[in-house]
Amino acid sequence: MIVLLNKPFDVLCQFTDEDGRRTLADYVEIKNIYAAGRLDRDSEGLVVLTNDGRLQHKITDPKNKMVKTYWVQVEGVITDKAIRQLSKGITLKDGLTKPAAARKIKEPKKLWQRNPPIRERKNIPTSWVELSISEGKNRQVRRMTAAVGFPTLRLIRYSVGDWTIDNIDSGGYIVATK
């Protein structure tokens, strides 16, 4: 079984929490499925859930290089230089990232309101970047954009491989056919 969830902001990417925070169980009532990979509590978007251990391994093992695409709202108007840097790979404390497919985009259509909204500064504009990566270092996308001078304000995982959040509302899910 494969379930595609559009995880809202401030939801843990697990089914239980001793501290009473919102979890995947607040959105998906299907039993005996597990998240194939993680998405930070302060990130939104696609989480693939499955009961297939081999598929879970295929999605999460960096050797398989499954591409994940993110829509990233950053503080400031991102420059062509920053896009080139992201495309070449960024040196972080835990090493050099693999090159990313990076491009400026307009604010995605059909974007839901985040609750709570991002912090906005009257004199500082924001812009959007689409980043596709094939590895998953801890908080990698946020660290990459910060390293090129554009801190992440909102992070949405749009796709994992061929699966996307198209036609899945925030907090909603579908059972995928493959």
The residues carrying an active-site annotation are: 40
What count of other Cβ atoms lies within 10 Å of the Cβ of residue 13? 17
Rounded to whole angstroms, the Cα distance separating 115 from 122 reads 19
Main-chain dihedrals φ then ψ at residue 2, nearest 5 degrees = -130, 125
Q: Distance between CA atoms of 123 and 105, rounded to whole angstroms?
A: 21
Q: How far apart are CA 157 and CA 2, in angstroms?
A: 17
Contact 134, 67 (CB under 8 A): yes
